[in-house]
């Protein structure tokens, strides 16, 4: 615990059990680190066996989206391990495919070394979750081994930033400078590398428009004239078109996934791809690439800027990118698509007008508000249209697409940055997976706003059953629940509306209250 506290870890979220009592006790006795009980084990400290089983969704989400997480789990006493004792499963094996690394602390003396290793592995290179298991007898043993020098997150990250091969950077710059319609595709790696500023600088220097994967959203302000917005499943036809027409694509910290490329149909054959990623395993994995570069995205961007300036190839004095005719026309097209989406008259036939509900939500939020999106239809099709402008302000379980992720993610974001507004936008089905954690939010006063698009069921699934299964809607309707009443009963604020004009005042009340609150937006289930 001392290693974690020294490294700056303030909170350990968890659910207890006999196997982790010594850990919880140690947290309680260690200054600077606090135990925060939650009501679902998606994170981070979990009892052995059933507790570890509940960890799977949280860890798999973190693994697929490259978030650093340390999972601490209990285990039976060492003398009992492997005998199928009560609640015992092979936890290290269970979590292995969804973690970067896992280890058992086998003696009290080895604890600091293994914890230091866990922190380093979670944060370095391509970040991800790690798992440390602590047998009950080891957890209660005494040791005189010191925690060691405090680890600094920043130093760990910097130590593993691999610089790209300069020869490849030069070739990449040559290709970018000779391109006619280049596009940058920014993925989550830009954010993990902290390279938003550098991305903007290179894009502006070369006047290259920037599209993002969904995981890369917030790496560039979507208000910037060079921003095309997200592409693929959760993107827009406008952004997709620019990527289709590109002759050179510079992929930064992205995986060219099925979601991003619409099953690899977006990038036209013959398009030249330059791909930069910290994980060499991603290079050339989905496409035949013109130039593959292993390395940190931020270091690549800085090296490329130096190279371009040396080549004196900057196309323009650094004026404003809108002066470029291509950019001016892109901005016009982008804004036209957006206004059409939110235009009330264009959707007169949709009684609930979910677009307009979302527009109201956007107008209440501060520009740097963090939004966490659920995985249902209303979140994906409508709420995803919120324009994201601040780095790390957009959270969604993308690689795994898990329901039940957005609300706890929003709580984590609020605990991490209490001064920022945090709002979870999700469906009723999504919320029901973890609604018991409202108790956590109230108890710990984690002031998140939870906006539930209540269409009384699994709208996205219902839609598929209507279109692909002859309209036979089976198992996708939920009994109507009053989430506003539930919230109030649990001690949170609770509002409910089905009127567009009531969204703003209700959400403002929650956001201004500094308390957790639920706004249930009732939507006619016949819409899906």
β-pair partners for 51: none
**Residue sitting closest to ligand TPP (CB):** 376
Spatial separation of the C-alpha atoms in residues 141 and 157, rounded to whole Å: 32
Nearest distance in Å: CB 452, Mg ion: 8
Spatial separation of the C-alpha atoms in residues 110 and 113, rounded to whole Å: 5
DSSP secondary structure string, 7-71?
TT--EEEE---GGGHHHHHHHHHSTT-EEEE-SSTTSSEE-TTHHHHHHHHHHHHHHHHT--EEE
Spatial separation of the C-alpha atoms in residues 188 and 212, rounded to whole Å: 9
Q: At 109, phi and psi to the nearest 5?
A: -65, -30
Q: Residues 507, 361: contact at Cβ < 8 Å?
A: yes
Spatial separation of the C-alpha atoms in residues 107 and 517, rounded to whole Å: 45
Nearest distance in Å: CB 377, Mg ion: 7
Nearest distance in Å: CB 328, Mg ion: 40
Spatial separation of the C-alpha atoms in residues 143 and 22, rounded to whole Å: 14
Q: Residues 62, 395: contact at Cβ < 8 Å?
A: no
With contacts defined by CB under 5 A, name the span among 196-204, 219-227, 448-456, 461-469 that binds Mg ion. Answer: 448-456
Q: Which is nearer to Mg ion, 209 or 427 (CB)?
A: 427
Spatial separation of the C-alpha atoms in residues 520 and 431, rounded to whole Å: 11
Nearest distance in Å: CB 378, ligand TPP: 4
Residues in region 410-439 near Mg ion by CB under 5 A: 427-429
Site membership for Mg ion, residue 455 (CB under 5 A) = yes
- Candidates 58, 112, 459, 516; binder of Mg ion (CB under 5 A) is 459
* Binding residues with Mg ion: total (CB under 5 A): 5
Q: Which is nearer to ligand TPP, 331 or 403 (CB)?
A: 403
Q: Which is nearer to ligand TPP, 35 or 483 (CB)?
A: 483
Site membership for Mg ion, residue 525 (CB under 5 A) = no
Q: Which is nearer to Mg ion, 209 or 354 (CB)?
A: 354
Binding mask 296-325 for Mg ion (x = CB under 5 A): ------------------------------
Cα–Cα distances in Å, from 471 out to 461, 462, 474?
A: 11, 8, 9
Nearest distance in Å: CB 435, Mg ion: 13
Give the binding site for ligand TPP (CB under 6 A): 374-378, 401-404, 426-430, 453, 455, 458-461
Site membership for Mg ion, residue 404 (CB under 5 A) = no
Q: Which is nearer to Mg ion, 241 or 482 (CB)?
A: 482
Summarize as ranges the residues that interact with Mg ion (CB under 5 A): 427-429, 455, 459
């Amino acid at each position: 615990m001392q290693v974690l506290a020294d490294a700056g870890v303030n909170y350990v979220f968890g659910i207890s059990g006999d196997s982790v009592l010594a850990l919880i006790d140690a947290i309680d006795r260690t200054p600077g680190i606090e135990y925060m009980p939650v009501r679902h084990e998606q994170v981070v400290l979990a009892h052995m066996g059933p507790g570890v089983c509940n960890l799977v969704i949280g860890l798999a989400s973190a693994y697929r989206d490259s978030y650093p997480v340390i999972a601490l789990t209990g285990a039976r006493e060492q003398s009992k391990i492997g005998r199928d004792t009560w609640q015992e499963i092979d936890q290290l094996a269970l979590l292995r495919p969804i973690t970067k690394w896992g280890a058992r602390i086998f003696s009290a003396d080895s604890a600091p070394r293994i914890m230091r290793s866990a922190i380093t592995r979670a944060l370095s290179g391509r970040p991800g979750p790690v798992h440390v298991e602590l047998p009950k007898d080891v957890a209660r043993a005494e040791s005189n081994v010191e925690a060691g020098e405090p680890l600094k997150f920043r130093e760990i990250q910097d130590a593993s930033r691999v610089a790209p091969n300069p020869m490849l950077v030069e070739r990449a710059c040559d290709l970018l400078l000779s391109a006619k319609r280049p596009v940058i595709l920014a993925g989550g790696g830009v954010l993990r590398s902290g390279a938003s500023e550098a991305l903007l600088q290179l894009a502006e220097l070369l006047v290259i428009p920037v599209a993002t994967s969904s995981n890369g959203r917030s790496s560039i302000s979507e208000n910037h004239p060079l921003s095309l917005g997200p592409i693929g499943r959760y993107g827009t036809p406008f952004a997709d078109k620019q990527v289709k027409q590109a002759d050179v694509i510079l992929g930064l910290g992205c995986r060219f996934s099925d979601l991003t490329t619409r099953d690899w149909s977006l990038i036209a054959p013959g398009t030249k791809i330059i791909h930069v990623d910290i994980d060499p395993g991603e290079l050339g994995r989905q496409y035949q690439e013109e130039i593959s570069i292993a390395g940190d995205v931020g270091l690549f961007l800085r090296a490329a800027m130096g190279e371009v300036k040396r080549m004196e190839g900057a196309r323009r004095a650094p004026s404003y990118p809108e002066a470029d005719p291509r950019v001016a026309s892109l901005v016009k097209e982008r804004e036209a698509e957006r206004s059409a989406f939110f235009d009330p008259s264009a959707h007169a036939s949709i009684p609930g007008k979910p677009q307009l509900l979302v527009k109201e939500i956007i107008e209440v939020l501060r520009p740097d508000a963090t939004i966490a999106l659920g995985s249902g239809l209303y979140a994906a099709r409508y709420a995803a249209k919120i324009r994201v402008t601040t780095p790390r302000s957009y959270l969604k379980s993308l690689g795994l697409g898990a329901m039940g992720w957005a609300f706890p993610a929003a709580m984590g974001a609020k605990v991490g940055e209490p001064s920022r507004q945090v709002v979870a936008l999700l469906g009723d089905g999504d919320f029901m997976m973890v609604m018991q954690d409202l108790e956590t939010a109230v108890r710990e006063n984690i002031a998140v706003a939870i906006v539930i698009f209540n269409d009384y069921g699994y709208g996205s699934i219902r839609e598929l059953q209507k279109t692909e299964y002859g309209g036979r809607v089976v198992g996708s309707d939920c009994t109507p629940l009053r989430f506003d009443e539930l919230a109030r009963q649990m001690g949170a604020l609770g509002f409910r509306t089905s009127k567009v004009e009531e969204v703003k005042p209700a959400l403002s009340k929650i956001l201004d209250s500094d308390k957790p609150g639920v706004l249930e937006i009732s939507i006619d289930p016949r819409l899906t």
